[in-house]
Amino acid sequence: MRKLLILSGKGGTGKTTAAAAFIRFAEARAFADCDVDAPNLHLVEKNLGEPECFDYLGSHKAVVDPEKCVNCGSCQAVCRFDAIGADEKSHFVNEFACEGCGVCAAVCPQGAISLRDDVAGEVRLYLGERVFATAELKMGRGNSGKLVAEVKSALLKNAPAADLAIIDGSPGIGCPVIASMSGVDLVLIVAEPSVSGISDLERILKTAAVFRTKAVVCVNKWDTSPEKTEAIERFCAENEIAYAGRIPYDAEASNAINAGKSVADIDCAASRALREVFDRVTGQLTGSTQ
């Protein structure tokens, strides 16, 4: 199975819009939403039936037993995450700051601290003719990279026969992005022609290079700044980065999404341009596995 991941660095450049269109163009039978912080692909993917849901156990969280706690403060003194507070009766753990390292439990002279499994999110798996894996991280939780890895492995396990998997990624360059990159054949970076978009493109390309992941770039909403679009195209040419084309800003595209449709479902300037980008990306993907 070839795996195409869609990233952007900057948020809101059109990752999910591109992913949803590609799923249609490819008639993909395996796809995933790895933007576990802010998942959206399920909003435009209909007729998938009911998902199987299971809890995601992210890490552990420390819990202080107030009956046993003698308020000595040893736990607070060793916690590196400022996760322990105290009132006049006992110390307590701030579940949002706690990373579950267990240091507090190790030093507590009363044995008052235990570590419990923490449900940090939910994986949702749609197992029809088309397999779709998605997840939602619980608010404020960390370790999203581990959840991304679970979403991907759920997809691969349940759709082994599919020849192409399309994976929608997260913005940024941190934990969930790095986790989503592992094992993919190609990353499509949807860039935005702006000073922010260019800076973020360079940072995501650096990150891809650290993990030796092959990347191809396209520019979305190119007509909002033809000048910056040309700057991106020059940058790609100078650095020998594959380039797959431009997509215009198109109000019809956002209307389609607000109606719960993929841009591929309508005929508009953006959908035609996306089709061309898709064809070039598929060409790159075939090339990458030779």
Partner 1 sequence: MTVAVLSGKGGTGKTFVSVNLAAVAKDAVYLDCDVEEPNGRLFLKPEQVTSSPVTVPLPAFDGEKCTGCRKCVEFCRFNALVFVKNRPMVFPEVCHSCGGCALVCPVHAVTETPRLVGTVEEGLSGGVRVVTGILNPGEVSAVPVIKNVLQKVAQDSGLAIVDCPPGSGCSVMESVSRADYCLLVAEPTAFGLHNFKMVHRLVRLLHKPCGVVINKASGEYSPLEQFCAETNTPVLLRIPYSTELAARTAAGEVAVRRDAAIAGTFRGLLNEIRKEACDEKTADSER
Chain residues that interact with partner 1, rule: CB under 8 A: 8-13, 16, 37-40, 43-44, 59-60, 78, 80-81, 96, 99-103, 106-107, 115, 136-137, 139-145, 170-175, 178, 192-197, 199-200, 203, 206-207, 210-211, 224-225, 227-228, 251, 254, 257-258, 260
Compare residues 118 and 159 and give the one whose CB is closer to partner 1. 118
Determine the Cα–Cα distance for residues 125 and 113; give it in Å rounded to an integer: 35
Q: Which two tokens stand for residue 7?
A: 């990233």
Asked whether the CA dihedral 202, 204, 206, 212 is positive or negative, the reply is negative
- In the complex, the smallest distance separating the C-beta of residue 258 from partner 1, rounded to whole angstroms, is 5
- In the complex, the smallest distance separating the C-beta of residue 107 from partner 1, rounded to whole angstroms, is 7
User: What's the burial of 77, exposed, middle or buried (CB within 10 Å: 0-12/13-18/19+)?
Assistant: exposed
Compare residues 109 and 140 and give the one whose CB is closer to partner 1. 140
**C-beta neighbour count of 21 within 10 angstroms:** 27
Compare residues 197 and 245 and give the one whose CB is closer to partner 1. 197
Compare residues 203 and 280 and give the one whose CB is closer to partner 1. 203
Strands (DSSP E) contained in the chain are 2-7, 30-33, 52-64, 84-86, 91-93, 113-127, 131-137, 164-168, 186-191, 215-220, 242-247
Edge-first strand order for the sheet with 52-64 is 52-64, 113-127, 131-137, 30-33, 164-168, 2-7, 186-191, 215-220, 242-247
Compare residues 159 and 250 and give the one whose CB is closer to partner 1. 250
- In the complex, the smallest distance separating the C-beta of residue 279 from partner 1, rounded to whole angstroms, is 25
83-120 residues labelled b (16+ CB within 10 A) or e (exposed): bbeeeeeebbbeeeebbbbebbbeebeeebbebeebeb
Helix (H) or strand (E) run with residue 205 in it: helix 195-210
- In the complex, the smallest distance separating the C-beta of residue 83 from partner 1, rounded to whole angstroms, is 11
Compare residues 91 and 141 and give the one whose CB is closer to partner 1. 141
Compare residues 47 and 258 and give the one whose CB is closer to partner 1. 258
Compare residues 144 and 282 and give the one whose CB is closer to partner 1. 144
220-257 residues labelled b (16+ CB within 10 A) or e (exposed): bbbeebeebbebbbebbeeeebbbbbbbbebeebeebb
- In the complex, the smallest distance separating the C-beta of residue 248 from partner 1, rounded to whole angstroms, is 12
- In the complex, the smallest distance separating the C-beta of residue 50 from partner 1, rounded to whole angstroms, is 19
- In the complex, the smallest distance separating the C-beta of residue 273 from partner 1, rounded to whole angstroms, is 18
252: three-class secondary structure by DSSP: helix
- In the complex, the smallest distance separating the C-beta of residue 199 from partner 1, rounded to whole angstroms, is 6
